């Protein structure tokens, strides 16, 4: 009964409150944060103007729900963090791997550097030794042959052979006396207008015209025709053939020295037979060369671009039988001078001494032959000037000499010493051009010329 009275009173109170405008009580129905329907009864305090020290239920609930959400987020983040941690572990694993690989590479690099240093030291030692040997060889070459002769016995090339050895006696018979002629016996070209034939007095500094680009340019032949005739080519045309390789057939033509220096050929001729070594030459619009692995000489006509003559050089050694000191199958060296076409070579009969033959430029037949006492394998190269043969002492020594001359007019030879520079230290070809009065050389990728001076020979006192 008391309860019924109380509820009735409350109901009246609610109705009264509702009739009091702003202070009226209200009943609100809404979903809570869990989605459940919730009824909220609100009534304003008649005395308190604000909830001092109190806490608002719905706000608290809002805060709590937000906290829950935040907790959920935090736990997810923590989980993510842990995942992140494990990712970091993976990362650290791969980092460790990288570091290991890096230290391995570093160790290998260090080892390689050490190895390179060792190789460099070895290379320097070898270069030093090579230089010493070259100098030694040159000194030996410049020693007159008579000093090696002793009574009853003859010393030759460090080996002792009895004078009654028939082979050696034949060699000695062939060998001419070599006498050193002082430089004062040569009258140099004082007027600077001396254009006639004479003996070599001096060789100028090497003048660089072109450096080969590729590995095939290590050695080769380059020339100008001293007497072009009957073709579209002139004495300004430059010819070049790189002779590194087994099937050397390409002959490059350049309009002039400028185009040659720039490396722009105007034509490439393909030779009918491969070229051997660096002994080829040019004369009267024909290209002369030794056919590979043979003693066959070939004349290739530049105008018609065809094989004009082909003939074996009798008894000539080839393929390394009698090369120059450089080797490289330099058995047959063709040369041109004021007097025509020459072959410089050796035969078994001459036992390695240089033989010179003058050739018919049309047919390639031998006109006349001379034998010298110069052992071909002891000299680096040779060329002809005014019917005289000159030999180069060394192909590597930067300061070498032209150490022998043999005059075909008298059939006599002697030692001389005209300085020549192998600036690039690997001189594989030296040839004379009488129209330009220059030596043409191929020195370790570098194509150079040397001016030369000739002088009259004094035939006075000897």
Q: Which is nearer to Ca ion, 337 or 431 (CB)?
A: 431
Contact 370, 408 (CB under 8 A): yes
Q: Which residue is nearest to Ca ion (CB)?
A: 333
E strand or H helix at 223:
strand 220-224
How many chain residues are in contact with Ca ion, going by CB under 5 A? 4
User: Distance between CA atoms of 310 and 304, rounded to whole angstroms?
Assistant: 16
245: three-class secondary structure by DSSP: coil
User: Distance between CA atoms of 235 and 229, rounded to whole angstroms?
Assistant: 9
Closest separation in Å from C-beta 344 to Ca ion:
7
Closest separation in Å from C-beta 294 to Ca ion:
19
Segment 223-282, which members bind Ca ion (CB under 5 A)? Answer: none
Q: Which is nearer to Ca ion, 38 or 436 (CB)?
A: 436
Q: Which is nearer to Ca ion, 254 or 324 (CB)?
A: 324
Q: Which is nearer to Ca ion, 61 or 407 (CB)?
A: 407
Segment 355-414, which members bind Ca ion (CB under 5 A)? Answer: 381, 383
Q: Which is nearer to Ca ion, 134 or 381 (CB)?
A: 381
Q: Which is nearer to Ca ion, 273 or 333 (CB)?
A: 333
**Residues in a beta bridge with 269:** 251
Closest separation in Å from C-beta 210 to Ca ion:
19
Contact 424, 443 (CB under 8 A): yes
Closest separation in Å from C-beta 293 to Ca ion:
20
Closest separation in Å from C-beta 134 to Ca ion:
20
Of 333, 336, 385, 442, the one binding Ca ion (CB under 5 A) is 333
Q: Which is nearer to Ca ion, 222 or 252 (CB)?
A: 222
Closest separation in Å from C-beta 334 to Ca ion:
8
Burial class from Cβ neighbours inside 10 Å (0-12, 13-18, 19+) for residue 369 reads middle
Q: Cβ–Cβ contacts within 10 Å for residue 276, how many?
A: 24
C-alpha to C-alpha distances, 25 to 16, 50, 334, 424, nearest whole angstrom = 9, 16, 131, 114
Closest separation in Å from C-beta 383 to Ca ion:
5
Q: What is the 3-state secondary structure (H, E, C) of 275-341?
A: ECCCCCEEECCEEEEEECCCCEEEEEECCCCEEEEEEECCCECCCCCCCCCCCCCCCCEEEEECCEE
User: Distance between CA atoms of 352 and 317, rounded to whole angstroms?
Assistant: 9
Q: Which is nearer to Ca ion, 154 or 356 (CB)?
A: 356
Closest separation in Å from C-beta 197 to Ca ion:
19
Segment 212-231, which members bind Ca ion (CB under 5 A)? Answer: none
C-alpha to C-alpha distances, 459 to 70, 187, 396, 462, nearest whole angstrom = 120, 10, 34, 8
What is the pattern of x (binds Ca ion, CB under 5 A) and - over residues 424-443?
-------x------------
Q: Which is nearer to Ca ion, 431 or 443 (CB)?
A: 431
Q: Which is nearer to Ca ion, 233 or 390 (CB)?
A: 390
Tokens representing 322 are 């009698």
End-to-end CA distance of the chain: 169
Contact 162, 171 (CB under 8 A): no
User: Distance between CA atoms of 181 and 441, rounded to whole angstroms?
Assistant: 26
Q: Which is nearer to Ca ion, 253 or 439 (CB)?
A: 439
Burial class from Cβ neighbours inside 10 Å (0-12, 13-18, 19+) for residue 39 reads exposed
User: Distance between CA atoms of 202 and 186, rounded to whole angstroms?
Assistant: 11
Closest separation in Å from C-beta 212 to Ca ion:
18
Closest separation in Å from C-beta 447 to Ca ion:
14
Closest separation in Å from C-beta 329 to Ca ion:
13
Region near Ca ion per CB under 5 A, out of 22-30, 329-337, 417-425, 438-446: 329-337
Contact 326, 381 (CB under 8 A): yes
What is the pattern of x (binds Ca ion, CB under 5 A) and - over residues 82-111?
------------------------------
Residues near Ca ion (CB under 5 A) are: 333, 381, 383, 431
């Amino acid at each position: 009964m008391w309860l019924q009275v109380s509820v009735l009173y409350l109901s009246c109170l609610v109705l009264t409150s509702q009739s009091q405008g702003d202070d009226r009580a209200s009943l609100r129905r809404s979903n809570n944060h869990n989605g459940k329907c919730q009824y909220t009864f609100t009534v304003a305090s008649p005395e308190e103007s604000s909830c001092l020290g109190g806490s608002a239920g719905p706000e608290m609930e809002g805060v709590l729900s937000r906290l829950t959400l935040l907790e959920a987020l935090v736990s997810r983040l923590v989980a993510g963090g842990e995942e992140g941690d494990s990712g970091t572990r993976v990362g650290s694993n791969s980092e460790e791997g990288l570091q290991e690989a890096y230290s391995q590479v570093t160790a290998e690099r260090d080892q390689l550097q050490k190895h390179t240093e060792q190789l460099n030291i070895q290379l320097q030692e070898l270069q030093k030794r090579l230089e010493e040997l070259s100098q030694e060889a040159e000194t030996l070459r410049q020693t007159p042959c008579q000093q090696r002769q002793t009574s009853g016995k003859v010393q030759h090339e460090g080996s002792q052979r009895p004078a009654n050895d028939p082979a050696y006696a034949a060699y000695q018979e062939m060998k001419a006396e070599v006498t050193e002629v002082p430089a004062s016996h040569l009258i140099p070209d004082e007027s600077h207008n001396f254009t006639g034939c004479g003996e070599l007095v001096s060789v100028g500094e090497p003048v660089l015209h072109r450096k080969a680009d590729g590995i095939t340019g290590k050695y080769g032949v380059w020339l100008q025709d001293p007497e072009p005739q009957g073709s579209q080519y002139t004495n300004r045309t430059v010819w070049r053939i790189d002779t590194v390789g087994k099937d050397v057939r390409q002959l490059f033509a350049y309009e002039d020295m400028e185009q040659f220096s720039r490396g722009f050929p105007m034509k490439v001729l393909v030779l009918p037979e491969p070229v051997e070594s660096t002994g080829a030459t040019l004369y009267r619009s024909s290209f002369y060369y030794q056919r590979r692995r043979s003693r066959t000489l070939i004349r290739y006509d530049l105008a018609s671009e065809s094989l004009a003559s082909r003939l074996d050089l009798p008894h000539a050694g080839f393929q390394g039988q009698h090369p120059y000191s450089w080797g490289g199958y330099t058995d047959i060296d063709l040369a041109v001078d004021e007097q025509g076409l020459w072959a410089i070579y050796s035969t078994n009969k001459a036992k390695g001494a240089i033989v010179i033959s003058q050739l018919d430029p049309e047919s390639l037949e031998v006109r006349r032959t001379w034998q010298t006492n110069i052992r071909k394998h002891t000299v680096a190269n040779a060329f002809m000037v005014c019917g005289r043969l000159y030999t180069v002492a060394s192909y590597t020594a930067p300061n070498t000499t032209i150490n022998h001359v043999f005059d075909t007019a008298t059939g006599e030879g002697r030692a001389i010493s005209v300085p020549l520079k192998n600036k690039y230290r690997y001189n594989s070809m030296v040839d004379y051009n009488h129209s330009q009065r220059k030596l043409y050389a191929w020195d370790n990728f570098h194509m150079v010329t040397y001016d030369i001076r000739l002088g009259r020979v004094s035939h006075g006192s000897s």
